Structure formats: structure tokens, C-alpha cells
Amino acid sequence: MKLNRRDVLQLGLWGSSAFFLPVIPQKPSLAAPFSPQIPRFKKPLTIPPVLSPKYADETTDYYEIELRKTRVKILPDTTTEVWSYNGSFPGPTIRQRGGNPLTGEGRQSVVRFINNLGQDEDDCDIDAVIHLHGMASLPQYDGFATDFIPPGYFKDYIYPNDRAATIWYHDHTIDKTSRNVYMGLAGMYIVEDEFERNLPLPKGEYDVPLILRDAFFEQKNDDAKLIFDNRNERSTYGDVAIVNGVPWPQMNVANRKYRFRLLNTSASRSFQLALSQKLERLTLGETMVVIGSDGGLLEEPVELTTPYQTLELGMAERYEIIIDFSKYKVGDSVYLKNIGFTGSIDTDTRIHTLMRFDVVREEQDDSLIPDELRPFERLSEAKAKGQTRTFRFERSFNQWLINGRGWEENRVDADPGFGDIEIWEFVNPGSGWFHPIHVHLIDMQMLERNGRPVRPYERGWKDVFHLGEFEKVRVIGEFGPRNPEFKKRFIHGKFMMHCHNLVHEDHSMMTVFEVGEEGDEPKSAPAKIVAEMKSFEETYPTPPNVYDLEAIEAFDEELYGKGR
Ligand code: C2O
Ligand code: CU
Ligand code: CU
């Protein structure tokens, strides 16, 4: 879809709080004010490895991921300790076939996470919690913030892969999520289905994950240390742009279309992305086409053209874009810029550019961007059948609170029935920060922001909602999985909802909602000691079936014992 001037205005760019926030510089409390200077656009972009299953049966692929400290080369002539999944920074990518495994359409996954992180600098155990953000997991496999895997323990997570989308796994440990994710515990997980594979979109080496984040380093001799500083529990920022683990990378591309899967794993930094042929300013008329959001493909592509249309990628959000390099000549370069000051009063370091694409060769391109991507049902106000709930996200008494309350794991703040279609209103009364609000379990649709239409690229399925200062965002969703096959299952139980500024989440802008009644408890499948770990073959003589409630309950009972 092409945008006219009115659409541009509706994008809300001029009215966006991002441009009106006061700039109140804060003194960084860090030892050194800046990371060491490093050369830009010299190191080639790397792609995180795709993880192969260790074992497979007729319906399920079994993967193994070890959490461990490792040293990686990020800044030149130094190494950096990161907390990794399988020694990779970011973690390995899992690519999985979506759909019902019983019909042979898709595969389910069992991912065994083994915590060998040991202790932190204060000699405290580094507990881990694994959340697969964007998957409709059962409560016991969703990574509830206190469902720990202590060091020396492991836990097997069962994932249904019920619909195609770019999602990600990351740490979710109560009070420690921001530190743990900052130290490296994040990785991409891609679910693809038949429908999507049959579209003529760029595939294979032209389908590229771009995992964006910021980081701050302190260098002593050949040690470049990742410094995590949450500035009195407010936010954490860095001055180095990192894409797929590489600072300010460059990528050689052919003069053709590429699909990029963007994910922002920063703890506190949002990006306003745009392309430019110049490093120091925006060039006019550069375009990117958004084809997907958090919950998979959009209905139709949304073209964004500089200078007025940019792509806002808040923390934990995913957008998939097509960049067509055929309008450039071999020898040209295009920068991925971050033009925005996306509003938090304590962002005192700027990241203006993330990476550079160098067009180095000519190539045929038979890929296309179809006018229609994935049709889906639009949820309108009229379809709501359940309550409308309002959640205020604000700072008071030096704490981040939802409706005036902090985290209490046994308190349930919303109780939609299974299958209810509810409208949730998120309100930010304003205090200097925006909040990307994340609802576990379900994909939702945005109805409006401040009574006006949301940006065109926000009209797809989403699980993170950008809530700017003084804004009210209304979203609608059905409390159950989107896949109709999987929907027959009664998913009930407790899930989390929180701000995805991970520092806010940790202190303590997070709450619990419960879908239906008498669901499995989030902690009913506890981690087990590594000494008792058996091979997948021995552990799963019969495959677990997440699509069958009784089967999975019997299975859990056998694995974890009665009295759950
Ligand atoms: Cu991406 Cu509850 O988290
Ligand atoms: Cu999530
Ligand atoms: Cu927040």
C-alpha cells in the first residue's frame, strides 16, 4: 500500500511524543562515560547458527541448548564475557515448521535448556528462566518469572509451533531479566508454515535475521567488559550498536530484494529505523516495505519512505521488512539509520546508525512482494465479548507500577475466560518514559492510539504495543491460541503481562492474568538436576502431544510426578 499525505499525518510522526520530549541529560554513573572507540562498518555481519535437532520422532523435534558463560570477540583485539545459549551471541536460531503436527502439517518442539551459568560476580547463583516470546505455550512451559532453572539443573520446554511468526527466546528471571538478557541470553526462533513458504518472498540466504541491541563496554587491556548499569532501576543504555552480535557491521548484498527479520533485544532502547545513502543525514525517497509484525505476516505490505515514514522498533518488537537493493548500483552503500529519539528522558547516549549494506554484485531476482500477504479476520470493537480492562503504567514512589501495584506472583489482576474477546486499554499518564507493553500467550490487534488509527504497520498481529507518554492504546484479542486446530484445546492458567523495558519489568511493572479456571500451575513442571538427565530417546519413549490436553497432562505427571 502506498501512503498519501493524510496517511503520513496519521502515522502520528508529527504528533508523536518522541519529538517533544524534553532532553534532560543525566550524568552517567559509569566509570567511563563512553565505550572505547571502534571502527564502523568494517566487520561483516554474521548470522547466528541455525540449531539442528538432537533427536526427532514422528511429530516432534528435540533440541538442546546449554546456558554457559563464554568469551566472544566483539570489540577489536579484545574478548568479552557473555552469558550465552550454546556459546553463541546472540543464541542459535531455531527454525521450525508451524501447524498441527498430528496432521503432518507442522512439528512440535521440545527444547532442553541446561543451566551451566554458575555464579555471578557476587557469588550468587545465576538462576535462569526461559520464555519463548510469541509462542502460545502452556503455563508450565511459558517461563513464569519464578519458574527457575538453577545452575546444575535443566528443564525441557514443549512448544506447539501453532502459527508462523518470528519470535524469540530470552531470559525471564524475576528481578534479573534485564541483566541476564543484557549479558546475552536472547535468541531468535522462526516458525514458518506451508502458506508462507508458497509466497514468492525472498528465501534462503535472502531471508536474514537482524537482531538489534545496544551495549556499553569498558576496556581493560584485552578485556572488553559488558557493563550493565540500570541507573537506579530506571533504564539501561549503551552507546554501541550491535547487530547479530557484531558492532556496527556491514553486509555485502546483491542488487535484489532481501527479507530482513528485525528484532530489538535491547533492555531499554527503542529504534526509529530508516534507510539512507548518507551517513550523516537522511536521503529522500529511500523505501522499505514492512511485511510482518510480531505475530506473523501483515494482511498487505506497508511501504515506508524517507524522510517522514520511519519504522519504530521498540524493545521485543519484531517487524519483517523487504529492502529492494535493485534501485542501487553496484558500489553504492545504504545505511540502516536510527533517526529517533524515542522518548525516555534518560537516554543520554545516542545511536544514530546501526549498520551498512554494500551493494557488491548483480543478481537475478525472481522474488516478489504480493499485494496480499496473509488475510486474517479483523477484530473490531463489535466483536468484543468480555470485559474491557484498563491498565495504567506509571512510576510512583520510585517504582514502576501497573494500576498502582507492583509484582505479586500470587495476585491475579485480570481473569478473561477462555475464548473471550476482550479489549485492553493501556494508559501512560506520562512521567518521562514510554512503555512497550507485552501480553503473553496471545496475539492481539491494535484498535487505536489516542482515539486515532494506529500506524499502518501496526495493524497486524502483535504482542508488544508501543505506549508513548500521555498515550492511551486500545488493543483487542481472543484469549486462546490463534490456530483453530490448537484452539480446540482448552489453554487455561496464569500468564504474565508487563512492560518490556526490562528494567521496568524487573522493578516491578509486571502482573499476572489468568485465562479460564483450574489451569496447570506455571511452576508445575519444575527443573530437574542435571545428574538425572537422560537422553531424549529415553525421556520421551512416546512423544508428548501439546495438542491433546489429556495426553500432555498424563505426560507431565509421569515426568514430574503427581500432586502438581
Ligand atoms: Cu519477551 Cu514476558 O517477555
Ligand atoms: Cu512473551
Ligand atoms: Cu516501561
Which residue in the block uniquely carries the three cell numbers 541446561?
114
Taking the CA of residue 224 as centre, how many other CA atoms within 13 Å lie in the half-sphere pointing to its CB? Answer: 19
Residue 532 in domain = no
Which three three-digit cell numbers place residue 452?
A: 486515532
Distance, CA 513 to ligand 1 centroid (Å)? 14
Ligand 1 contact via 504 beta carbon (within 6 Å): no
Minimum-distance ligand to the CA of 129? 1
Residues 206 and 299 in one domain: yes
Residues 357 and 217 in one domain: yes
Query: CA-CA distance, 445 to 460, in Å (whole number)?
Result: 6
Minimum-distance ligand to the CA of 137? 2
Report the atom number in ligand 1 closest to the C-alpha of 134.
1
- Boundary residue ending a domain (138, 162, 197): 197
Residue range(s) defining the domain that contains residue 328: 5-41+202-361
Minimum-distance ligand to the CA of 441? 2
Query: CA-CA distance, 366 to 368, in Å (whole number)?
Result: 7
Question: What residues flank ion ligand 2 with Cβ within 5 A?
Answer: 133, 440
Ligand 1 contact via 496 beta carbon (within 6 Å): yes
Distance, CA 450 to ligand 3 centroid (Å)? 18
Query: CA-CA distance, 288 to 275, in Å (whole number)?
Result: 8
- Boundary residue ending a domain (331, 361, 391): 361
- Boundary residue ending a domain (361, 390, 416): 361
Residues 12 and 111 in one domain: no
What distances in angstroms separate CA 470 from CA 20, 394, 404, 474, 482, one per listed residue?
12, 10, 17, 13, 31
Distance, CA 500 to ligand 1 centroid (Å)? 7
Ligand 1 contact via 440 beta carbon (within 6 Å): yes
Contact in structure between 268 and 344 (CB atoms under 8 Å): yes
Report the atom number in ligand 1 closest to the C-alpha of 168.
1
Residue 29 in domain = yes
Which three three-digit cell numbers place residue 550?
A: 489429556
Distance, CA 303 to ligand 3 centroid (Å)? 29
Contact in structure between 524 and 173 (CB atoms under 8 Å): no
> Could you tell me where the DSSP H helices lie in 156-263?
177-182, 194-197
Which residue in the block uniquely carries the three cell numbers 527479507?
259
Ligand 1 contact via 318 beta carbon (within 6 Å): no
The CATH number of the domain holding residue 245 is 2.60.40.420
Query: CA-CA distance, 436 to 316, in Å (whole number)?
Result: 8
Residue 537 in domain = no
Residues 236 and 316 in one domain: yes
Report the atom number in ligand 1 closest to the C-alpha of 464.
1
Contact in structure between 151 and 178 (CB atoms under 8 Å): no
Residues 352 and 385 in one domain: no
Minimum-distance ligand to the CA of 496? 1
Contact in structure between 92 and 86 (CB atoms under 8 Å): yes
Residues 216 and 343 in one domain: yes
Which three three-digit cell numbers place residue 165?
A: 511468526
Strand ranges inside 31-74, DSSP E: 55-56, 60-72
Distance, CA 504 to ligand 3 centroid (Å)? 5
Report the atom number in ligand 1 closest to the C-alpha of 510.
2
- 541 burial (CB, 10 Å; 0-12 / 13-18 / 19+) is exposed
Residues 81 and 15 in one domain: no
Ligand 1 contact via 133 beta carbon (within 6 Å): yes
Residue 338 in domain = yes
Ligand 1, atom 3: nearest CA belongs to which residue?
133
Both ends of the chain: CA-CA distance in Å? 51
Report the atom number in ligand 1 closest to the C-alpha of 145.
2
Query: SS3 for 448?
Result: strand
Distance, CA 128 to ligand 1 centroid (Å)? 14
Residue 549 in domain = no
Which residue in the block uniquely carries the three cell numbers 552480535?
245
Ligand 1 contact via 131 beta carbon (within 6 Å): yes
Ligand 1, atom 1: nearest CA belongs to which residue?
133
Residue 370 in domain = no
Ligand 1 contact via 489 beta carbon (within 6 Å): no
Q: Please count the structural domains in the chain.
A: 3
Ligand 1 contact via 112 beta carbon (within 6 Å): no
Strands 80-85 and 60-72: antiparallel
Residues 309 and 452 in one domain: no
Question: Which residues, 6 or more positions from 51, have their beta carbon under 8 angstroms from its beta carbon?
Answer: 63, 65, 86, 92, 93, 94
Ligand 1 contact via 181 beta carbon (within 6 Å): no
Report the atom number in ligand 1 closest to the C-alpha of 133.
1
Tens of each residue's pLDDT in the chain, 564 residues = 443 433 333 333 333 333 333 344 444 444 578 899 999 999 999 999 999 999 999 999 999 999 999 999 999 999 999 999 999 999 999 999 998 877 888 999 999 999 999 999 999 999 999 999 999 999 999 999 999 999 999 999 999 998 999 999 999 999 999 999 999 999 999 999 999 999 999 999 999 999 999 999 999 999 999 999 998 899 998 999 999 999 999 999 999 999 999 999 999 999 999 999 999 999 999 999 999 999 999 999 999 999 999 999 999 999 999 999 999 999 999 999 998 765 566 565 689 999 999 999 999 999 999 999 999 999 999 999 889 999 999 998 889 999 999 999 999 999 999 889 999 999 999 878 999 999 999 999 999 999 999 999 999 999 999 999 999 999 999 997 777 766 656 678 999 999 999 999 999 999 999 999 877 889 989 999 999 999 999 999 988 887 777 788 788 888 877 544
Distance, CA 142 to ligand 1 centroid (Å)? 10
Distance, CA 116 to ligand 2 centroid (Å)? 24
Minimum-distance ligand to the CA of 394? 3
Which three three-digit cell numbers place residue 69?
A: 558463560
Distance, CA 44 to ligand 2 centroid (Å)? 31
Query: How confident is the model at residue 346, as a pLDDT?
Result: 59
Give which of 527, 482, 515 is closest to 117, Cα–Cα: 527
Residues 235 and 181 in one domain: no
Residue 179 phi/psi, 5-degree rounding, is -65, -45
Ligand 1 contact via 498 beta carbon (within 6 Å): yes
Ligand 1 contact via 97 beta carbon (within 6 Å): no
Minimum-distance ligand to the CA of 318? 1
Residues 186 and 206 in one domain: no
Question: Which residues, 6 or more positions from 204, have their beta carbon under 8 angstroms from its beta carbon?
Answer: none
Query: SS3 for 554?
Result: helix
Query: How confident is the model at residue 489, as a pLDDT?
Result: 61
Distance, CA 393 to ligand 3 centroid (Å)? 7
Residue 550 in domain = no
Minimum-distance ligand to the CA of 497? 1
Residues 389 and 503 in one domain: yes
Residue 538 in domain = no
Query: How confident is the model at residue 176, as a pLDDT?
Result: 98
Distance, CA 172 to ligand 1 centroid (Å)? 7
Distance, CA 133 to ligand 1 centroid (Å)? 5
Residue 274 phi/psi, 5-degree rounding, is -155, 155
DSSP letters spanning 517-543: SSPBPTTSS--EEGGG---HHHH-SS-
Residues 404 and 459 in one domain: yes
